[in-house]
């Protein structure tokens, strides 16, 4: 992904992402806000976003671009001091920030406690079984041997000499997503596949 992708305006997003975004409502928690492209659209729609990111640089960029409430806050530290929300955004692959199956389930349960009745999660992920080469197949098999979900990957983001720490990201198929949310207090109300990209809207039970 080029840096410009993080600054893309609504009209330049992929069509499924625009469609999923139509489910955004009320007070919005934008997790992993990056350059703030989603929070800025939320503001333009006269809704209230709270943008959080673990990167000081990302939070600074959000503020400079006009996001009114951008906070330096790790995912693990979100709690009821933020108040409650009507929508949670886990876009740009951020559904996988839990890193593994157990932590992703724990995240869904935490978000259930931090949201209002009828709340939604708008998310995307990557189907790890699409467009595989031999190295991909070997990676999935190695995860299975280690007792992990096949799509658990260890990555970092690099740009122009800067790099994040390594972190785990969980990528799942639609079927795996449906299995993960079972029993967490969420159910799917909208699903879309676009090549390897998976988009979903979950609603609170």
Tell me the pTM.
Answer: 0.96
* pLDDT of amino acid 105: 98
Cα(159)–Cα(2) distance, integer angstroms: 9
* pLDDT of amino acid 4: 86
CATH number at residue 17: 3.40.50.150
* pLDDT of amino acid 63: 98
Contacts 24+ apart (CB under 8 A), 93-97: 93/124, 93/125, 93/126, 93/169, 93/171, 94/31, 94/32, 94/123, 95/123, 95/124, 95/125, 95/170, 95/172, 96/125, 96/151, 96/169, 96/170, 96/171, 96/172, 97/31, 97/32, 97/167, 97/169
Dump pLDDT digits (tens) for 182-200: 999 999 999 999 999 999 9
* pLDDT of amino acid 5: 87
For residue 161, count CB atoms less than 10 angstroms from its CB and return exposed for 0-12, middle for 13-18, buried for 19 or more: exposed
* pLDDT of amino acid 2: 75
Band (pLDDT 50/70/90 cuts) for residue 108 is: very high
* pLDDT of amino acid 97: 97
For residue 51, count CB atoms less than 10 angstroms from its CB and return exposed for 0-12, middle for 13-18, buried for 19 or more: buried
**Mean pLDDT along residues 115-137:** 97
Lowest mean pLDDT among 4-13, 23-32, 108-117, 173-182: 4-13
Range of the domain at 64: 3-204
Instruction: For helices 174-181 and 101-113, give the axis angle rounded to 10 degrees.
Output: 60
* pLDDT of amino acid 162: 87
Maximum pairwise Cα distance, the chain: 48
Q: pLDDT at residue 68 above 80?
A: yes
Dump pLDDT digits (tens) for 14-55: 999 999 999 999 999 999 999 999 999 999 999 999 999 999
Provide the domain count of the chain.
Answer: 1
Dump pLDDT digits (tens) for 135-185: 999 999 999 999 999 999 999 988 888 888 999 999 999 999 999 999 999
């Amino acid at each position: 992904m080029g840096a410009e992708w993080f600054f893309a305006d609504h009209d330049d997003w992929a069509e499924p992402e625009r469609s999923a975004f139509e489910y955004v409502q009320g007070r919005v928690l934008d997790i992993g806000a990056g350059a703030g492209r989603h929070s800025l659209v939320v503001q333009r729609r006269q809704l209230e976003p709270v943008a959080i990111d673990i990167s000081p640089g990302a939070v600074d960029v959000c503020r400079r671009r006009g996001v009114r409430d951008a906070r330096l806050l790790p995912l693990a530290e979100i709690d009821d001091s933020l108040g409650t929300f009507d929508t949670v955004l886990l876009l740009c692959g951020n559904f996988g920030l839990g890193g593994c199956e157990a932590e992703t389930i724990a995240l869904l349960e935490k978000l259930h406690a931090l949201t209002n009745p009828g709340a939604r999660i708008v998310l995307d992920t990557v189907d790890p079984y699409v467009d595989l080469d031999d190295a991909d197949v070997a990676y999935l098999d190695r995860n299975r041997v280690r007792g992990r979900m096949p799509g658990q990957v260890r990555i970092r983001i690099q740009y122009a000499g800067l790099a994040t720490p390594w972190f785990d990201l969980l990528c799942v198929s639609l079927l795996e997503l449906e299995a993960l949310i079972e029993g967490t207090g969420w159910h799917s109300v909208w699903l879309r596949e676009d090549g390897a990209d998976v988009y979903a809207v979950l609603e609170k039970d």
